[in-house]
Homo-oligomer: A and B are copies of this chain.
Amino acid sequence: MNPKTILLDHGSGGTASQDLISDLFLKYLDNPVLNSLEDAAIIDNHAGKLAISTDSYVVDPIFFPGGDIGCLAVNGTINDLAMRGAKPIALSLALILEEGLLLSDLERVITSIAKTSSNTCVPIVTGDTKVVPKGKGDKIFINTSGIGIVDHGVNVCAKAAKDGDSIILSGSMADHGITIMTQRAGLSLAGQLASDSMALHQMVQQLLAQLPGSIHTMRDPTRGGVATSLSEIAGAAGLSIELEEQAIPIRPPVGAACEILGLDPLYLANEGKCLVITSSEAAQQALRIMRSCPEGREAAIIGHMSKGKAGRVTVKTPVGGTRIVTPLQGEPLPRIC
Q: Which residues of A contact B (CB under 8 A)?
A: 3-11, 17, 20-21, 24-25, 28-29, 31, 33-34, 38, 40-41, 43, 45-48, 50, 52-58, 60, 89-90, 92-104, 106-107, 110-111, 113-114, 117, 123-133, 135-138, 141, 143, 145, 147, 149, 331, 334-335
Contact = CB atoms under 8 A, between A and B. Distances in A.
A251 to B, nearest CB: 27
11 contacts: A6-B101, A8-B133, A10-B97, A29-B110, A43-B89, A46-B48, A52-B145, A53-B126, A54-B92, A58-B96, A141-B141
Contacts of A89: 43, 45
Number of copies: 2
> When A and B form their complex, which 7 residue pairs have the shortest distance between CB atoms, in order from nearest?
A11-B131, A145-B145, A54-B92, A41-B125, A41-B126, A28-B114, A47-B48
Contact of A24 (B41, B110, B131, B149): B110
Contacts of A20: 129
A117 B29 CA distance: 8
Given A28-B110, A29-B113, A10 B48 contact: no
A29 B93 contact: yes
